[in-house]
Amino acid sequence: MSFYSGSFAALVTGIYFFLPLYLKDTLHFSGSQIGWLYGVLSLNALVVSFPLGVAGDRLPVRRLIRVGLALCALGVWGLGAMGAFWVYLFVFWVFGLGVYIFRQSLDILLFKTSAADPARDFGRYNAWRMGGMMLGTLGGGLLIYALQFPRALQVLAAGLLILLGPTLWLPLTTLHQAPLWQYRRDFSHPRVLFFAAWLFLFTLHWGAENTSYGLFLHRHLGLATWEMGLYMSVEFAVLAATAFLHGRFWAGKLPPMVFLGIALFTSGIGHILMTFPPVLFSLFWRAVHGFGDGLVLMESYATIARLFQVARVGGNSSLISLVTTLGAFAGALIFGPLGASWGYQWPLIISGLIALLLLPLAWWGSRWDSPP
């Protein structure tokens, strides 16, 4: 699973952050159109999130992983072949559907097979994922610089198809036919609703990053694509190290809300201060932001494992994933046009302020200590 987490991230991460340059400079899409493109990635959650999670409880998860890989490869190839906005919007939806099915299914497989030492498993899994994202931004920037976008996307699509072969060695999961009302009871617990609420607000900054991060580095800091890859790879190296250290050494050393407070503060302040030049100053604060995001990521995985029973973790974790993708969707719709109108630093600054404003909410929610 860790291999797939890292390999898939290495192949698709560059697309998220570099593609806005292609959309803006080559296809001449507007800020609102770019916002809708990245927003539609999240609409897949509305269609397939809960059914996918329930299917992950009732069917072998590795079948779902294969479907996700195939759809993602088809979508990536189409992103380099299409040019008209409405056709591109459909292709982006296919790409997003594949990404969502793959990532959510792999997460379900992780939750169902990590009962012995979950903290260490979560740390290793996410360290590989963030390491893959580091390689994806670094290698993606160099690949696009050498081949240009259409040919680079064809290479990435071929890489995704190659990943279909090793799925034969993924573990089989225990199947469970839970009635749907049990999922509703699980998710209606106050602690679960609180967790979902702050996670939605926090993931607004994903939409800001998807629509504005790459353009900020290119337009405001003046970085070429290969330089952008170097810049982004530093953050993902920090994320990978944070995930590994949390899973191996830090988990359980402090109350979850203390970790969350540290995470929100460093994520928010880093997102704000990274918008100021020079490049090395910006990069330092981007790394601080990555440390905070890494803590949020690890605490989110630990909270899901703590809140939900393994037999129904597929359906329930998919509802949490729905919340985060809706946060990214809302963020893309808000910050895509805002960045095009005000400047690409403002989505990063405003979403950083939102993370800081979540600090009182996090401490207030610490009253709920018992799982449903």
**Is it the case that residue 367 has pLDDT exceeding 60?**
no
**Is it the case that residue 283 has pLDDT exceeding 80?**
yes
Query: Residue 170 has what pLDDT?
Result: 84
Query: Residue 296 has what pLDDT?
Result: 92
Q: How many CB atoms lie within 10 A of CB 96?
A: 23
**Residue 95 contacts by C-beta under 8 Å, 6 or more apart in sequence?**
15, 41, 71, 72, 74, 75, 76, 78, 79
Local confidence band at 71 (pLDDT 50, 70, 90 cut-offs): very high
The backbone torsions φ and ψ at residue 275, rounded to the nearest 5 degrees and listed phi first, read -80, 0
**Is it the case that residue 167 has pLDDT exceeding 90?**
no
Query: Residue 188 has what pLDDT?
Result: 85
ω before 278 within 30° of 0 (cis)?
yes
Burial of 134 (0-12, 13-18, 19+ CB in 10 A): buried
If you write DSSP's letter for every residue of 83-126 in order, what string do you get?
-SHHHHHHHHHHHHHHHHHHHHHHHHHHHHH--SSHHHHHHHHH
Q: What CATH number does domain 2-169+182-367 carry, 1.10.760.10, 1.20.1250.20, 3.40.630.30, 3.30.565.10?
A: 1.20.1250.20
Q: How many CB atoms lie within 10 A of CB 115?
A: 10
Q: Can you give the pTM of this predicted structure?
A: 0.84
The backbone torsions φ and ψ at residue 224, rounded to the nearest 5 degrees and listed phi first, read -75, 170
Average pLDDT, the chain: 87
Q: What is the mean pLDDT of residues 340-355?
A: 94
Query: Residue 372 has what pLDDT?
Result: 47
Residue pair 36/337 in contact (Cβ under 8 Å)? The answer is no
Q: What is the mean pLDDT of residues 248-257?
A: 81
* Model confidence pLDDT, tens digit, residues 9-46: 999 987 877 888 888 888 989 888 888 887 777 677 67
Query: Residue 25 has what pLDDT?
Result: 85
* Model confidence pLDDT, tens digit, residues 86-143: 999 999 999 989 998 999 999 989 988 876 678 889 999 999 999 998 898 888 888 8
If you write DSSP's letter for every residue of 279-306 in order, what string do you get?
HHHHHHHHHHHHHHHHHHHHHHHHHHHH
CA dihedral 80, 83, 88, 94 (to 10 degrees): -30
Q: What is the mean pLDDT of residues 201-229?
A: 90
